[in-house]
Amino acid sequence: MSELTRLREFLNELIPSEDQFQRLYQNFCAQIRKGLGAKTNKDADTKCYLTYVQDFPHGNETGKYLALDLGGSRFRVLLVTLKGDRDAELVAKIYDLTEKELLGTGTQLFDYIAKCLHEFVCEQKVEGEHMALGFTFSFPCVQTGLSRATLVRWTKGFNCSDTVGEDVGVMLKSAITRRTGLKIDMVAILNDTTGTQMSCAHRNPACNIGLIVGTGCNACYTEKVENCERLDTKYKDRPKIIINVEWGAFGEKGGLDHLLTDYDKIVDKNSLNAGTQIYEKMVAGMYMGELVRLITLRAVNENLIFAQCKLRKQITDILTKKPNCIETKVLSDIANDKGDDWPMVKDVFKDIFHLHDADPDDCMKFKYICDVVAKRAGNMLGVTLGALVNKVGESFSIIGVDGTVYRCHPNFDGYMRETLDRFVEKDRKYDIMLSEDGSGRGAALVAAVVHREYIERKSLNARLHT
Ligand code: BGC
């Protein structure tokens, strides 16, 4: 048997069968049903959080808004000008996050956010204006209203003390007052998926699903209020609400056991949050590079790659001793390599393994390993997206997407569509739309829509009382 055939067999457990995809679909749908139910929610891993976003952009929104975006490897502050006519202008500044913010106390983190915000509004010369702010906070939160969000858990490498169980809106507001005394109205806290959906809906109202495939992974969708048993009746005067599925947590109740490999189990065990966010660890940017490292290491040990390479021992050492030495960016970069002398794969080998004369066969095999990991992720996401398209139940759904993995990997969109096409019911159609800065523009839109709703309710009350 050739080495390549042996490698293919070795990777077979990472290539789900049709039957495994079917089970993924069924298990996921069951969790969504549980998540929505009042009595069953506690047993669901996909908690289906209510976002309280019930109004959608009309496209004619105007005004200046501030937005904060916390949830990935960097923190951003934005000034968003909605210009009517489905248009918006953004000025954004990126601030680095160090271990002190990621793993320190909540006060340290929120003081840092307030400091960056202060710096930004002064630079933009808007410190004198009384502005509404939308806070994109991309972690699981129980919301009891648009601006009240209790943190359930940290994900993606964040782990600040004294924060879980606290209202992040209160923490942000007190940090802003403590440090700056600025007059800022934090009117909404939202997840990045919601921001993405809103941002795409601003350009095309048919967008009813939001997806992020970046450092973390999650989706949201528009649900009918009558299907939301946990929603208080006072919110049922509007027909729909966005549900933040928090599907990164899917699998915590065993729904992915039939797909988990040893590599997935090791990635989970070595993570900051072992036992949680199982789906996320199979499909998101924070983990896919690490999966490739573990697979490559075992493949080297089984003489399936680098078998004749003179640096074999050095490569094994690096792969063993350096967790996270392969970034997920590598999967996207080398997917662009067409196999003509393998320039991208060779660059990666130089960078990571200090290998300067790579064998073309090893290049081809490494690319194959990366492809298998990316394809599994894209295909699985297509299945669960298909479930959401069917759940929304419209004849046409647009899925708004953002995140570095989706944006940078040349084949990811195709991998998702492969299974979406198989799982979306025949009488429904879908399309995928790349979001334009969901976390910034989406946050401003939620702030604008909240403001509009507030004015509408105020004038309705005034009319009722005259
Ligand atoms: C978080 C989600 C978020 C996703 C994408 C996950 O780790 O739990 O709230 O939407 O990452 O950023």
Output the pLDDT for position 112: 95
Cα-to-centroid distance, 326 and ligand 1 (Å): 22
Hey, how many other C-beta atoms are within 10 angstroms of the C-beta on 96?
Answer: 9
Catalytic annotation present for 156: yes
pLDDT in tens, 164-223: 999 999 999 999 988 877 878 899 999 999 999 999 999 999 999 999 999 999 999 999
β-bridge mates for residue 132, sequence order: 185
Residue 125 within a domain: yes
Is the same domain home to 237 and 369? yes
Instruction: Give CA–CA dist 456/465, Å, rounded.
Output: 14
Output the pLDDT for position 65: 92
Is the same domain home to 351 and 452? no
Residue 32 within a domain: yes
Residue 196 within a domain: no
Output the pLDDT for position 437: 85
State the sign of the Cα–Cα–Cα–Cα dihedral 150, 154, 156, 158: positive
pTM, rounded to two decimals: 0.95
Is the same domain home to 16 and 102? no
Question: What is the domain-level CATH number for residue 93?
Answer: 3.30.420.40
Is the same domain home to 8 and 76? no
Cα-to-centroid distance, 139 and ligand 1 (Å): 5
Q: Which domain does 303 fall in, by range?
A: 1-51+205-435
Catalytic pick among 55, 167, 192, 337: 192
Residue 140 within a domain: yes
Residue 197 within a domain: no
Pocket (CB within 6 angstroms of ligand 1): 71, 138-140, 155-156, 191-193, 212, 214, 216-218, 246, 248, 280
Average pLDDT, the chain: 94
Output the pLDDT for position 454: 65
Ligand 1 atom nearest the C-alpha of 153 is 8
Supply the residue whose CA is at minimum distance from atom 9 of ligand 1. Answer: 139
β-bridge mates for residue 430, sequence order: 397
Supply the residue whose CA is at minimum distance from atom 11 of ligand 1. Answer: 216
Strand ranges for 339-423 from DSSP E = 396-402
Supply the residue whose CA is at minimum distance from atom 7 of ligand 1. Answer: 216
pLDDT in tens, 3-52: 789 999 999 999 999 999 999 999 999 999 999 999 999 999 999 999 99
Output the pLDDT for position 455: 64
Output the pLDDT for position 167: 97
Question: What is the domain-level CATH number for residue 372?
Answer: 3.40.367.20
Classified as helix, coil or strand, 379 is helix
Give the total number of structural domains in the chain.
2
The pair of three-digit structure tokens given for residue 358, joined into one six-digit string: 């790579």
HSE, CB side, 13 Å, CA atoms: give it for residue 6: 10
Residue 371 within a domain: yes
pLDDT < 50 positions in the chain? none
Residue 199 within a domain: no
